[in-house]
Amino acid sequence: MSKKQTWFVMIVLAVALVACLAVDLMLPSYHIAVTVIKKAAVYALVAVSMNLLNGFTGLFSLGQAGFMLLGAYAYGVLTIPVDKRAGVYQYFDGGAIHFSIPEIFSNVLGDTVGTTVGMLAALLVGGILAALVAYLIGLPVLRLKSDYLAIATLGFAEILRAFFQWNALGPITNGSNLLKSYPTFSHATPYVVLAGVMIAFIVLLIRSTYGRAFKAIRDDEVAAEAMGINLSRHKRLAFVISSFFAGIGGGMMAMYMGTIAAAPFKSTLTYEILLIVVIGGIGSITGSVLASFLYIFSSEWLLRGLDSGTFLGINAPDLFKNGFRMAVFSIIIMVIVLFFRRGLMGDKELPDIPNMIRGVGRRKKEARK
Amino acid sequence: MQEILPYLINGISVGGQYALIAIGYTLVYGILRLINFAHGDVFMVAGLIMVYATTAMPMYLALPLVLVVTVLLGFLIERVAYKPLRSAPRMSLMISAIGVSYLIQNLAFYITGGVPQPVTNPIPWISENVELFGQSTKRVTLVTPVLTILLVVALVYLINHTKIGMAMRAAAKDFETAQLMGIKINAVISMTFVIGSFLAAVGAMLYFTNYPSVSITSGGMPGLKAFVAAVFGGIGSIPGAVVGAFVIGLCEEIIKGLGYTTFSDAFTFALLIVVLCVRPTGLFGEKVTDKV
């Protein structure tokens, strides 16, 4: 990366952070902009974690929703305040767990700092849990090839979901009832910073020797093995790390949603994230992040009017009724999947953007000649 | 025995319905090596059309209409979403399939307004109660296995003894060589989608008579289970898919009978994972080796 590129990246990241802070300072926390940024940050993290697996290692896995479920539940179960547990677990005698990590930390570190540290610790536990489960699942599943791997991971996610709805585990998971009343961040900046730090870790991983090995496996398994790359070890590593970040993303999703149930973590969620990865470009971290923000921004905000009668000043309640937004959206996605298979960024990253813009300019100039 | 009998009868019936869907997966996978994620949604659409058509017109018009529209849908999906990606990597094809599934569900949401459409006795004759071994059951539970077997026999005949069947087998064996031998590969692929959608439509008509309503996600689970059935039986093999579907239908109903309803779905996937790990080619599948 040249000096110019480093500056460019720094400036872009700084501008993004300042913009996010400004939104937090100027708008109330229930404003749609705050919601969009929160949700998009969570989706960006999960999309990048999926990209690490599908785009960089070439393992087509569809288990993301399952690992997010683990992270979300771990976060909820560990952070509900003790005095609210009786209300939340009303059908299970107040549940089996009688401590709350944020409260333990706030006894030691004081209220504000302690709660935050406790929340982060709970997120981390969620990530580790997801990683552990991924390790176990990976033992049999990672031996499978392409589409079999996809369907087996999808299956595991469904099995996990069934377990979390099982009444026998109710004292911990609250069965098919909601988990709620746990602490959340109400501003957007914590989400952006958290997701940003996690994504930075993934970027560092991809630029390391491990990342190179992952790419080698993606491009040609047989050749990679011949070069001395331990296939099963690296695949397992990618799977476990990706699941770790999906778990943390799941915990953040729980924060964003305010309540946890098993229902939103269906395979539809995985599909949605996969489509975000595709829109951004399979194999581009920047693309996944950009696509998440674009996707959430347009589906939650920009195209809202398509659902509620008026769009771009056109008032047609019969056409623009509930569901039209997602119908239009999925048509756009199909167009991208079919005709712009490289997505927004292809395999380019943030530092390449100045060159890409310059390249377009040059081509235009040549065309004019 | 008296207690478990209704579950066994139901299991065979559900198995028959899964079998009809599973054939669609197995045929397409055999030729394109693609898990057609949209197949479950085609099944759901067939259910929706049945609900709409049977309320709007007499049955002798409505049922053929369901078949025709579903077949058209399957044909169109292949032409629009899969044909342009013939030379693309397999991952793109699978992503396209997921995209189609997403599109169909969202369109269905728009059309139905997100409200599950009630199934009100669309085909009266098969919803009537009959006595079987002292148990009262709907006639559809008896009709399903018989109809399934008949359709499968017809399909096996088609594949083994007709020209288009021979072309399908050739395409499944070796896509490119089949093309070189003058087989119109696009026609063959369209044919597999037509057959698959036709059977899914029949399956949907039988399946949804047992349910109070059709919602936009009703296709997902039966679709995935039918896919598991196809893998269990050895993907690409029609008898395999049928046997697998009956096994899964039976196991599922028995698990429900034992009181573990939450796990009836999970069991199917557990079975899938065990099969994939122990015998990835399934019961009747052929061994495939990687070419470098």
pLDDT tens-digit series, residues B169-196? 888 888 888 889 888 889 999 999 999 9
The pLDDT, as a whole number, for residue A168 is: 77
- pLDDT (average), residues A247-260: 91
- pLDDT (average), residues B210-238: 84
A107 by Cβ neighbours in 10 Å (0-12 / 13-18 / 19+) ranks as exposed
Q: How far is residue A310's CA from residue A265's CA, in Å, rounded to a whole number?
A: 31
Look up residue B149 and give its two tokens. Answer: 């077997």
* Closest partner CB to B102 (pick from A271, A322, A339): A271
Q: Would you say residue A369 has pLDDT above 60?
A: no
Residue A253 CA: distances (Å) to CA of A140, A195, A260, B50, B279: 29, 11, 9, 38, 38
Buried b (16+ CB within 10 A) or exposed e, A112-141: eebbbbbbbbbbbbbbbbbbebbeebbeeb
Look up residue A246 and give its two tokens. Answer: 């999906």
Share of chain A above pLDDT 70, in %: 92
Q: How far is residue A182's CA from residue A83's CA, in Å, rounded to a whole number?
A: 11
Share of chain B above pLDDT 90, in %: 27
Q: Would you say residue B126 has pLDDT above 80?
A: no
DSSP 3-state assignment of A229? coil
- pLDDT (average), residues A145-160: 84
Look up residue B244 and give its two tokens. Answer: 């697998």
The pLDDT mean for chain B works out to: 85
The pLDDT, as a whole number, for residue B122 is: 67
Confidence category of residue A235, pLDDT binned at 50, 70, 90:
very high
Look up residue A28 and give its two tokens. Answer: 């109330």
Confidence category of residue B1, pLDDT binned at 50, 70, 90:
low
Across the interface, whether the CB atoms of A326 and B106 are under 8 A apart is answered: yes
Q: How far is residue A108's CA from residue A22's CA, in Å, rounded to a whole number?
A: 32
- Residue A255 CB neighbour total at 10 angstroms: 26
- pLDDT (average), residues A32-53: 92
Task: Judge whether A148 and A59 are in contact, CB under 8 Å.
Answer: no
Q: How far is residue A197's CA from residue B29's CA, in Å, rounded to a whole number?
A: 41
The pLDDT, as a whole number, for residue A277 is: 92
Give start and end residues of each alpha helix (H) in A184-309.
189-207, 209-219, 221-226, 231-257, 267-280, 285-297, 304-307
Confidence category of residue A311, pLDDT binned at 50, 70, 90:
low
The least confident of A74-88, A265-279, B131-145, B243-257 is: B131-145
The pLDDT, as a whole number, for residue A329 is: 82
Q: Domain spanning B5-125+137-278: which superfamily?
A: ABC transporter involved in vitamin B12 uptake, BtuC (1.10.3470.10)
Buried b (16+ CB within 10 A) or exposed e, B188-222: bbbbbbbbbbbbbbbbbbbbbbbeeebbbbbbbeb
Q: Would you say residue A255 has pLDDT above 60?
A: yes
The least confident of A206-210, A246-250, B137-141, B190-194 is: B137-141
* Closest partner CB to A158 (pick from B85, B265, B276): B265
B105 CA: distance to closest CA in chain A (Å)? 9
The pLDDT, as a whole number, for residue B279 is: 79
Look up residue A278 and give its two tokens. Answer: 């595709």
pTM: 0.87
The pLDDT, as a whole number, for residue A308 is: 67
Nearest Cα neighbor of A143 from A272, A233, A8 is A233
- pLDDT tens, residue by residue, A44-65: 999 999 999 988 998 888 899 9
Nearest Cα neighbor of B228 from B249, B205, B212 is B249
- pLDDT (average), residues A242-255: 94
Q: Which of B227, B231, B263, B269 to substitute to test the interface with A, most A CBs within 10 Å?
A: B269
CA angle A4, A5, A10 (to 5 degrees): 100
Confidence category of residue B201, pLDDT binned at 50, 70, 90:
very high
- pLDDT (average), residues A313-321: 66
Residue A298 CA: distances (Å) to CA of A170, A270, A306, A327: 38, 19, 11, 13
The pLDDT, as a whole number, for residue A305 is: 66
Helix (H) / strand (E) element for B129: namely strand B129-132
DSSP 3-state assignment of A40? helix
Contacts of A271 in chain B (CB under 8 A): 98, 101-102
Helices B39-56, B5-32: axis angle to 10 degrees equals 120
Confidence category of residue B276, pLDDT binned at 50, 70, 90:
confident
The DSSP letter of residue B213 is: E
Q: How far is residue A208's CA from residue A215's CA, in Å, rounded to a whole number?
A: 11
Q: Would you say residue A324 has pLDDT above 60?
A: yes
A195 CA: distance to closest CA in chain B (Å)? 26
Task: Judge whether A24 and A189 are in contact, CB under 8 Å.
Answer: yes
The pLDDT, as a whole number, for residue A199 is: 93
* Closest partner CB to A278 (pick from B95, B100, B272): B95
Residues 86-125, chain B, touching A (beta carbon < 8 A): 88, 90-92, 94-96, 98-103, 105-107, 109-111, 113-114
Q: How far is residue B161's CA from residue B183's CA, in Å, rounded to a whole number?
A: 16
Task: Judge whether B108 and B48 are in contact, CB under 8 Å.
Answer: yes
Share of chain A above pLDDT 90, in %: 32
Helix (H) / strand (E) element for B131: namely strand B129-132
Across the interface, whether the CB atoms of A155 and B269 are under 8 A apart is answered: yes
The DSSP letter of residue A233 is: H
Q: How far is residue A317's CA from residue A223's CA, in Å, rounded to a whole number?
A: 58
Tokens 């050749």 belong to which residue? A223
Q: Would you say residue A200 has pLDDT above 60?
A: yes
